[in-house]
Amino acid sequence: MIVVCTPTGQIGSRLLANLLARDTPVRVIARDPARLAPPAQGRVEVVTGSLTDLDVVTKALDGADSVFWLVPPDPTSTDPVERALDFARPLCEAITRQDVRRLVYVGGLGHKEVTDTDSMGRAMTELIDKTGVNYRTLRMPAFMENLLWQVQPIKYQGTFFYPISGDRKLPTCSTRDVAAVAADVLLDSSWTGQDYIPVLGPEDLSYNDEAAIMSEVLGRPVRYQQVPADAYKASLIQNGQTEAAAQWLVNLLTAIDRGLYNAEPRTPQATTPTTFRQWCEEELKPAVLA
Ligand SMILES: NC(=O)c1ccc[n+]([C@@H]2O[C@H](COP(=O)([O-])OP(=O)(O)OC[C@H]3O[C@@H](n4cnc5c(N)ncnc54)[C@H](OP(=O)(O)O)[C@@H]3O)[C@@H](O)[C@H]2O)c1
């Protein structure tokens, strides 16, 4: 039995579809089971409740061979590190109680490094390490899907923004690739130990490269504009993020601009198939035209 902890999310929903296509028995934890994709309704065991509730997680992990887990993002959090631990503590307690053999969870790229941006990742990993569970952390760069947050400026101003140099080449991946890697690792019962797997997408692109590809796919000019970190943070807060969540993200983006994402070597194993152009054609373009 494989347990998928975020079955309605970007990665989790694609992972669930992937596992069901391979006729794998799956149990999910969902706050609102009605939000499961229609093809999954009735085909998976559901434990209803929150990932922060130890009883819910313990019940879900009963008899589980493998678990897929991540900390759901929350831009309204006032303490991102403590919030991540609120999710990690019940997971770790339940893994120990239920003697789970394998965990596959999502982390950020470069976060194995000790950086100021990653007190969250370090605290979480320390807790998970202590359970002794076999695990693979999927370490990935910024998702292509993040650009969907900027559909309005792309559509109406032909511009998108980050506080990152437009020429810095960076890996980027689609959540479908993350889900595909997660499915393969969850279905492979041969591995043991505690390690990570980088998921880097097909190639490194700068934001200027991405603007050129977007322009071609959308058939209209799109340009990238680097903005100062303070201005970017202010725009996040204006759009509803807390000061703490905005600062955490700006710290991460600043670290990316200084090379956080460029430390992981690109190997054939870390390279995944969905190109930025394909993603633009299949997901960005319909969103911009909607
Ligand atoms: N964005 C990036 O560029 C990037 C890069 C590297 C790593 N990451 C990591 O990737 C993860 C985000 O993955 P994603 O995009 O798939 O997330 P997502 O689409 O935001 O999905 C979040 C999921 O968590 C569920 N959820 C939220 N709160 C819950 C709770 N209290 N109890 C149970 N379920 C809860 C949501 O379910 P409902 O709302 O339906 O209840 C949903 O299924 C984060 O850990 C992030 O740090 C992101």
In a domain, 150, yes or no: no
The verdict on the CB of residue 170 being under 6 Å from ligand 1 is: no
Domain of residue 113 covers: 2-142+174-198
Residue-wise pLDDT tens digits, 112-169: 554 555 677 778 888 999 999 999 999 999 999 999 999 999 999 999 999 999 999 9
Kindly state whether residue 205 falls inside one of the protein's structural domains.
no
What pLDDT, on a 0 to 100 scale, did the predictor assign at position 114?
A: 46
| Atom of ligand 1 minimally distant from the CA of 51 | 32
Instruction: Answer yes or no: is 162 within a domain.
Output: no
Residue 25 pLDDT exceeds 50: yes
Residue 50 in contact with ligand 1 by CB distance below 6 A: yes
SS (H, E, C) the chain: CEEECCCCCHHHHHHHHHHHHCCCCEEEEECCHHHCCHHHCCCCEEEECCCCCHHHHHHHCCCCCEEEECCCCCCCCCCHHHHHHHHHHHHHHHHHHHCCCEEEEEEECCCCCCCHHHHHHHHHHHHHHHHCCEEEEEEECCEHHHHHHHHHHHHHHCEEEECCCCCCCEECECHHHHHHHHHHHHHCCCCCCEEEEECCCCCEECHHHHHHHHHHHHCCCCEEEECCHHHHHHHHHHCCCCHHHHHHHHHHHHHHHCCHHHCCCCCCCCCCCCCHHHHHHHHHHHHHHC
Q: Would you state the pLDDT for residue 115? A: 54
Does 226 fall in a domain? no
User: What's the CATH code of the domain at 132?
Assistant: 3.40.50.720
Please give the distance, rounded to the nearest whole angstrom, from the Cα atom of residue 140 to the centre of ligand 1. Answer: 14
Ligand 1 touching residue 13 (CB < 6 A): no
Model pLDDT for residues 63-76, shown as the tens digit of each residue = 999 999 999 999 99
Ligand 1 centroid – CA 187 distance (Å): 22
What per-residue confidence (pLDDT) applies to 194? Answer: 95
* Mean per-residue pLDDT, 34-43: 94
The answer to the question of residue 25 being in a domain is: yes
Query: pLDDT value at position 11?
Result: 98
Q: How many domains does the chain divide into?
A: 1
What's the pLDDT score for residue 1?
94
Q: Is the pTM here over 0.85, yes or no? A: yes
